């Protein structure tokens, strides 16, 4: 696919604000929507494509001279340590995304702590880079799992990007702030606690519109995405964009017996993802999460 070589000035005026680019490093068969079809015990029965797809993203970032944060499963890091080293060699940040993509509400606090400590150590040992960031599987920090933020802070994480302040049937905390905040500041005595960096939304009236990437990015017309990001940056705030390596892989194996909603969410416009993504890289400024929000960490 050919890369766009200049911004589309008809639809966007490039802001001076630098936004945060992030990647959730997991394979296609590890997404929460496939849990009933491909349980953890069956993961090894499916061909891994995460290494090649992540390398594809690394090449794109190198082409556009962009650095990003890679929220990585410990499962992936253990199996592809050279991939983690290539991420770091490219100037990117590596961060935690749990060991095996288990949503937090399915863990006890003890199980969660063991999970995030193990993931952090594995990635740090392989990368030689301190891990300070975390993203919960399927944005599974909500009102019922806010206790996880205290455990993350105690384990040495300094920021989380785990709350999507919208309503969704799989995740969401629609009354959460839209921009970074310290959700435990008034709960943990004498500590502001961990910084939460929510996924980006914009407003139409009082209604929050998700525009931080993922399936929404593949669903929306590109013009709508640009409109939303222009509105966010016009508030004087950076946004947080996320994607998955499998979203750049229209040839990935198809999982049988999915319902129509899951099929649409996972497979919609995969063949358009790379060109759409490159246009966003051209039209906005991007950097790693830890660097965009370094003044707050």
Distant-in-sequence, close-in-space partners of 215: CB < 8 Å, separation ≥ 6: 265, 266, 268
Query: Do 79 and 48 contact (CB within 8 A), yes or no?
Result: yes
Q: What is the pLDDT of residue 190?
A: 58
For 120: left if phi > 0, alpha if psi spans -120 to 50, otherwise beta; the answer is alpha
Residue 136 DSSP symbol: -
Q: How far is Cα 57 from Cα 54, in angstroms, rounded to an integer? A: 5
Whether the pLDDT of residue 239 is over 90: the answer is yes
Please state the rounded mean pLDDT for residues 18-37.
97
Residue percentage of the chain with pLDDT more than 70: 94
Mean pLDDT of 213-240: 96
* Bridge partners (DSSP) listed for residue 181: 196
Average of pLDDT values for 234-247?
97
Mean pLDDT of the chain: 93
Position 188 confidence tier, pLDDT thresholds 50, 70, 90: low
Q: What is the pLDDT of residues 71-103, one digit of tens each?
A: 999 999 999 999 999 999 999 999 999 999 999
d(CA 222, CA 69) in angstroms, rounded, equals 23
Listed by start position, the domains of the chain span 18-296
Predicted TM-score (pTM) of the model is: 0.94
DSSP-assigned letters across all residues of 23-76: EEE--GGGSGGGTTTS-GGGGGGS---HHHHHHHHHHHHHHHT---EEEE-HHH
- Say if residues 239 and 289 touch (Cβ distance below 8 Å): no
Q: Tell me, what's the pLDDT at 4?
A: 42
Sole residue written with tokens 């500590």: 191
pLDDT value for 98: 98
Between strands 207-210 and 201-204, the pairing is antiparallel
User: Mean per-residue pLDDT for 251-273?
Assistant: 97
Encode pLDDT of 99-142 as tens digits: 999 999 999 999 999 999 999 999 999 999 999 999 999 999 99
DSSP state of 213: B
DSSP letter, residue 169: S
Q: Which of 60, 31, 67 is nearest to 275 (CA)?
A: 60
* Helices within 65-201 (DSSP H only): 74-79, 81-89, 109-127, 147-154
Nearest to 237 by CA among 203, 282, 192: 203
- 153 pLDDT band, cuts 50/70/90, is very high
2 backbone dihedrals φ, ψ, rounded to 5°: -80, 145
Q: Is the pLDDT of residue 13 over 80?
A: no
Which CATH number is 18-296 given? 3.20.20.370
Q: Per the structure block, which two tokens stand in for 89?
A: 């060699």
């Amino acid at each position: 696919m050919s890369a766009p070589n200049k911004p589309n000035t008809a639809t966007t005026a490039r802001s001076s604000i630098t936004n945060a680019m992030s990647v959730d490093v997991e394979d296609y068969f590890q997404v929460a929507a496939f849990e009933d079809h491909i349980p953890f015990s069956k993961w090894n029965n499916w061909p891994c494509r995460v290494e090649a797809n992540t390398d594809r993203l690394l090449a794109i970032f190198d082409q556009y001279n962009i650095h990003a944060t890679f929220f990585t499963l410990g499962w992936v890091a253990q199996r592809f340590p050279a991939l983690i080293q290539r991420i770091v060699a490219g100037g990117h940040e590596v961060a935690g995304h749990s060991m095996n993509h288990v949503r937090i509400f399915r863990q006890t606090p003890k199980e969660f702590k063991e999970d995030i400590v193990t993931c952090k150590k594995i990635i740090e040992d392989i990368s030689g880079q301190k891990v300070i960031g975390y993203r919960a599987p399927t944005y599974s920090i909500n009102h019922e799992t806010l206790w996880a933020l205290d455990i993350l802070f105690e384990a040495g994480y300094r920021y989380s990007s785990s709350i999507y302040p919208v309503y969704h049937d799989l995740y969401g905390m629609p009354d959460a702030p839209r921009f970074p905040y310290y959700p435990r500041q008034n709960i943990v005595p004498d500590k502001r606690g961990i910084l939460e960096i929510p996924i980006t939304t914009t407003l139409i009236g009082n209604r929050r519109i998700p525009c931080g990437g993922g399936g929404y990015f593949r669903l929306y017309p590109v013009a709508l995405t640009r409109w939303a990001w222009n509105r966010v940056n016009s508030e004087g705030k950076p946004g947080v964009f996320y994607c998955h390596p499998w979203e750049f892989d229209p040839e990935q194996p198809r999982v049988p017996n999915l319902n129509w909603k899951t099929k649409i969410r996972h497979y919609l416009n995969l063949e358009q993802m790379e060109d759409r993504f490159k246009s966003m890289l051209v039209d906005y400024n991007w950097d790693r999460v830890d660097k965009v929000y370094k003044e707050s960490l």
